[in-house]
Amino acid sequence: MTADITTPLIPPIFGKTLTELRMIVSEAGLPGYTATQLADWLYKKNASSFEEMTNLSKKGRQFLTDHFSVGVMVPKKIQSSIDGTRKYLFPAAGGKFIETAMIPENERITVCVSSQVGCKMGCLFCMTGKQGFQGQLTAGEIVNQIRSIDEAGQVSNIVYMGMGEPFDNLDEVLKSLEILTSEWGYAMSPRRITVSTIGIIPGMVTFLEKSEAHLAVSLHTPFDDERRTLMPVQVAYPIADVINEIKKWDFTKQRRVSFEYIMFQGLNDTPKHVQELSRLLNGIKCRINLIRFHPIPGTPLQGSNDETILSFKDKLNSKGILTTIRASRGQDIYAACGLLSTKELIKKSQNPS
């Protein structure tokens, strides 16, 4: 899955699961407990060099230094929004870049992580889609977005809503979730993590089986023909099939499912959409998040106005579907939903002037 990005010559150890660390120490002939110690240094003590790992044997440290890099990456650039949101730019393997958004809200710090460089899904309204697909992120590159921001250690919530489609990079996303939620890792509750998908059904099913994190689905319109013009994935994974799959799972307890809905003027904000949404989602305990459209260059789409969004919300609520409006954050630094892109950086690296 990660073959698209040039593998660094010295493989990083950050991003390995406990099982993988056990294999590494076993092959090196080191004592088995070294794996737990390593996990502790990497994911709890935030070590950035093998020298710091003082309870490891000298032989162990030497072996690690000879064969691995720690592999944590510091951000190349940080931008701050007037609303407190920050956007981090991280280098990824192969000379590429990814973006991460940190969104503070009262006591909460939510980090929006990327799972791919670029995206293959090509949604009409999304800036990331416009750069095409450049590569998969490793679990280490995903978790590093939590580990290497200034707010590391204070993160209360994580959303996989940055660049890329998480379930098109399923193995690495699942590994990153394991590191974030395991006792030997960051020990975060999976209930503080939400993975957002466009509706790649096989990946979604595996995720629902193997992880306990919340699920968010980019819905945007309940109508097949409209969704096809907005989201090419509708051809392969129609939203009706996605919903049918979701209905097989229990979201009435601690695990939640939500639906993301960007509001486009005159396109998906009419009473018939309310009607069809209520029909489509009937029987699912869920929430709809209405999102203001953040226009991207050259877009033929226009966002709904606040009045329409409020009335759409009220109508859905009166149909019994819990509906909220997501606050737009970090728009001035292009950190808001649908605005993440490293296209210009890719162009620069391909045509250095």
> Interface residues with another protein (CB under 8 A)?
1, 3, 118-122, 124, 129-133, 168, 202-203, 205-206, 224-225, 228-229, 232-236, 238, 241, 298, 300-301
What is the CB neighbour count within 10 angstroms for residue 118? Answer: 23
SS3 87: strand
Report d(CA 147, CA 100) in Å as an integer: 12
CB nearer to another protein: give 150 or 224.
224
Residue closer to another protein by CB (options 289, 341) is: 341
**Minimum CB distance to another protein smaller for 135 or for 185:** 135
Q: In angstroms, what CA-CA distances link 152 with 112, 144, 329?
A: 13, 10, 20
Instruction: Check residue 31 and report its DSSP letter.
Output: -
Query: Hunting for tokens 């009419």 — which residue is that?
Result: 270
* Min CB(318)–another protein separation in Å: 30
Active site residue 337: yes
Q: Among residues 34 and 116, whose Cβ is nearest to another protein?
A: 116
Q: Among 244, 247, 182, which Cα is nearest to 213's?
A: 182
Cα(40)–Cα(34) distance, rounded to whole angstroms? Answer: 10
Could you say which of 99, 141, 172, 260 is catalytic?
99
Token pair belonging to 84: 């407190």
Identify which of residues 141 and 168 has a Cβ nearer to another protein in the complex.
Answer: 168
In angstroms, give the least distance from the CB of 133 to another protein: 5
Catalytic annotation present for 20: no
CB 101, CB 311: distance < 8 Å:
no
Q: Is beta strand 108-112 parallel, antiparallel or unpaired with respect to 157-160?
A: parallel
SS3 content of the chain, % helix, strand, coil (to 5): 35, 20, 45
Taking the complex as a whole, the smallest distance from the CB of residue 37 to another protein amounts, in Å, to 32
Annotated catalytic residues are 99, 337
